[in-house]
């Protein structure tokens, strides 16, 4: 039994110049909003950009973008949704609408392969991937299918978040996965909880970045009236979150995706 | 049509196998079509035929068989078929057609109403075998 979709996935992904994966070991830290706004920002800067919501069970990128859910158009596959000039979007949400999506691991993998095999992206400069929390099936599948993926890890100043995010960084480092850097979101005062996973009383994102030799790309302050910006792409782009992300993205577009070490014998060469 | 993406996937895969086998001519390709994805066979064949124009093998080598969908509930352990399930509405069927995993959104075990079931068979398009012509190196 041969799965014909795998060759198609490889072929389709090979047309994408860079893949940025927004990930964190924790939920609720701002992966989706940072991914959505990064995609908006890249497209505004003139790059052909795709945004793929890989969080099937907690799909929320469309909420930040204010996208209406309907079935995609078909033409030699399914056409992603055009959000703005140069920005296309795909997600599980058009197929599940507002219903719960109870999927086990293998179903997640199958759905991911199907979406990657049938979505017809234009030739893209960037594919931005919004991930679910954790290091489960989705992360392992991203590493299997997209061995050019570059990770951007989202964290907050919370001591609990940092200690959990350290584990993701450790895994990425051990597997030699390219990490563009760390974005600290919801910056407030420093966490009074100070003991990191090494037992040192030094628990901050800047120290964590140093310890893992990764870049701290920027810090986004906590925005008390954030919900007023939800569903309004232009307002999001003009907010302090949007402006910070714009700076981060412009640095990323100036740097070339350098190391692309593969592991796990990924299908994408 | 989204059937075309699947036809394209099948052809790219067969082409890869063809190249890997020193371009031995292909005798037959056996394709299984899962019931749950409700592929429009006319569109699929049409796509296959048109895309194949650029390839050294023709549509006549492709044999199709449909595979009935069967499910097993992870909760109560019973097995069931698509026809044991109340028919889904058109929107739901369309969603499952695009993405068979949407079945977990819209279907329930007919015995215990759980959404926690496994699709045992009949999911989508797969290549069961590719037979190459012998002695034609
Ligand atoms: N900098 C911020 N200030 C205030 N609220 C934020 C900020 N970043 C994200 N949020 C809010 O936090 C919640 C979780 O964000 P989300 O992007 O969905 O996280 P994740 O994808 O990591 O689960 C959302 O309600 C979002 O609006
Ligand atoms: Mg999210
Ligand atoms: Zn049951």
Pairing outcome for strands B70-73 and B62-67: unpaired
* Among A259, A159, A229, A143, residue whose Cα is nearest residue A201: A159
| Angle CA B54–B1–B19, to nearest 5 | 30
Supply A267's token pair: 């299908």
Model pLDDT, residue A269: 30
A62/A197 Cα distance (integer angstroms): 35
The alpha-carbon gap from A56 to the nearest alpha carbon of chain B, in Å, equals 10
- Domain spanning B2-68+123-132, CATH class: alpha beta
A18: CB partners within 8 A, 6+ apart? A125, A126, A127, A148, A150, A257
Give CA torsion, residues B25, B28, B30, B31, to 10 deg. Answer: 70
Percentage of residues of chain A with pLDDT beyond 90: 86
Residues of chain B contacting A, Cβ within 8 Å = 1-2, 4-6, 8-10, 12-13, 16-17, 32, 47, 74, 94-95, 98-102, 104-106, 115-116, 118-119, 123-128, 130
Does residue A225 or residue A258 have the better pLDDT? A225
Question: How confident is the prediction along chain B (137 residues), in pLDDT tens digits per residue?
Answer: 689 999 999 999 999 999 999 988 999 999 999 999 999 999 999 999 999 999 999 999 999 999 999 999 999 999 999 999 988 899 999 999 999 999 999 999 999 999 999 999 999 999 999 999 876 55
Buried b (16+ CB within 10 A) or exposed e, A227-247: eebeeebeebbebebbebbbe
Q: Please judge whether A114 and B100 are an interchain contact, meaning their C-beta atoms are less than 8 angstroms apart.
A: yes
Q: Please judge whether A4 and B94 are an interchain contact, meaning their C-beta atoms are less than 8 angstroms apart.
A: no
B31/B103 Cα distance (integer angstroms): 22
Express each pLDDT in A227-242 by its tens digit. Answer: 999 999 999 999 999 9
Q: Say yes or no: CB of residue A226 within 6 Å of ligand 1.
A: yes
Express each pLDDT in A34-65 by its tens digit. Answer: 999 999 999 999 999 999 999 999 999 999 99
**Looking at domain A4-253, what is its CATH homologous superfamily?**
P-loop containing nucleotide triphosphate hydrolases (3.40.50.300)
B49/B69 Cα distance (integer angstroms): 27
B48/A178 Cα distance (integer angstroms): 39
CA distance readout (Å), A104 to A56, A76, A117, B74 = 11, 29, 20, 11
The pair phi, psi for residue A90, each rounded to 5°, is: -140, 150
N-terminal to C-terminal alpha carbon distance within chain A: 23
Place of tokens 């064949």: B45
CB < 8 Å to B119, chain A: 107
Supply A96's token pair: 């599940």
* Among A137, A103, A147, A132, residue whose Cα is nearest residue A10: A147
How many other β-carbons are positioned within 10 Å of the β-carbon of residue B64?
15
CA distance readout (Å), A238 to A41, A145, A178, A241, B102 = 10, 34, 30, 8, 36
Model pLDDT, residue A225: 95
What residue owns the CA closest to ligand 1's atom 15? Answer: A30
Average pLDDT for A6-27: 96
Model pLDDT, residue B137: 52
A244/A220 Cα distance (integer angstroms): 6
Model pLDDT, residue A268: 37
A239/A247 Cα distance (integer angstroms): 13
* Among A58, A260, A38, A7, residue whose Cα is nearest residue A143: A260
In chain A, the largest separation of any two C-alpha atoms, in whole Å, equals 57
Q: Say yes or no: CB of residue A241 within 6 Å of ligand 1.
A: yes
Q: Please judge whether A118 and B95 are an interchain contact, meaning their C-beta atoms are less than 8 angstroms apart.
A: no
* Interface pTM, i.e. ipTM: 0.94
Show the beta-strand stretches assigned E in chain A: 16-23, 49-53, 81-84, 87-90, 124-130, 150-155, 179-187, 216-221
Distance, CA A139 to ligand 3 centroid (Å)? 30
Supply A251's token pair: 């640095």
What distance lies between CA B9 and its chain's CA centroid?
Answer: 11
Q: Is the pLDDT of residue A32 over 50?
A: yes
CB < 8 Å to B74, chain A: 104
What distance lies between CA B132 and its chain's CA centroid?
Answer: 21
pTM: 0.93
The alpha-carbon gap from A17 to the nearest alpha carbon of chain B, in Å, equals 21
A253/A48 Cα distance (integer angstroms): 12
Cβ burial of A55 (10 Å; 0-12, 13-18, 19+) is: buried
What are the residue ranges spanned by the domains of chain B? 2-68+123-132, 70-121
Place of tokens 């369309």: B94
Pairing outcome for strands A150-155 and A179-187: parallel
The helix (H) or strand (E) run that includes residue A7 is helix A5-13
């Amino acid at each position: 039994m041969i799965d014909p979709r795998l060759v198609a996935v490889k072929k389709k992904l090979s047309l994408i110049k860079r893949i940025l994966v927004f990930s964190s070991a924790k939920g609720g830290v701002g992966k989706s909003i940072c991914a959505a706004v990064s995609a908006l920002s890249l497209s505004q800067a003139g790059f052909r950009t795709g945004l793929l919501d890989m969080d099937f069970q907690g799909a929320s990128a469309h909420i930040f973008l204010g996208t209406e859910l309907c079935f995609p158009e078909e033409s030699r596959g399914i056409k992603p949704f055009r959000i703005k000039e140069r920005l296309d979007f795909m997600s599980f949400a058009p197929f599940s609408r507002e219903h719960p999506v109870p999927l086990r691991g293998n179903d997640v993998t199958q759905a991911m392969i199907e979406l990657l095999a049938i979505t017809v992206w234009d030739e893209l400069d960037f594919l931005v991937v919004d991930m679910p929390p954790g290091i489960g099936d989705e992360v392992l599948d991203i590493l299997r299918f997209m061995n050019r993926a570059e990770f951007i890890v989202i964290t907050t100043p919370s001591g609990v978040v940092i200690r959990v995010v350290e584990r993701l960084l450790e895994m990425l480092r051990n597997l030699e996965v390219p990490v563009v850097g760390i974005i600290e979101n919801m910056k407030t005062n420093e966490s009074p909880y100070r003991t990191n996973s090494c037992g040192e009383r030094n628990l901050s994102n800047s120290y964590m970045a140093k310890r893992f030799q990764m870049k701290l790309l920027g810090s986004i302050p906590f925005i008390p009236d954030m919900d007023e910006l939800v569903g309004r792409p232009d307002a999001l782009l003009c907010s302090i979150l949007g402006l910070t992300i714009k700076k981060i993205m412009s640095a990323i577009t100036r740097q070339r995706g350098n190391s692309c070490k593969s592991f796990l014998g990924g299908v994408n060469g | 049509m989204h059937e075309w993406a699947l036809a394209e996937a099948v052809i790219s895969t067969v082409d890869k196998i063809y190249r890997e086998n020193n371009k031995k001519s292909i005798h037959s390709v056996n394709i299984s079509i899962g019931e749950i994805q409700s592929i429009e066979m006319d569109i699929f064949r049409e796509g296959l035929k048109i895309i194949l124009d650029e390839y050294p093998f023709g549509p006549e080598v492709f044999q199709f068989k449909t595979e009935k969908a069967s499910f097993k509930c992870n909760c109560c352990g019973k097995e069931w078929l698509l026809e044991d399930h109340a028919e889904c509405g058109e929107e739901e069927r369309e969603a499952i057609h695009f993405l068979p995993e949407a079945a977990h959104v819209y279907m329930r075990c007919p015995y215990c109403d759980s959404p926690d079931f496994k699709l045992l068979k009949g999911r989508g398009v797969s290549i069961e075998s590719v037979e190459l012509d012998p002695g034609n190196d």
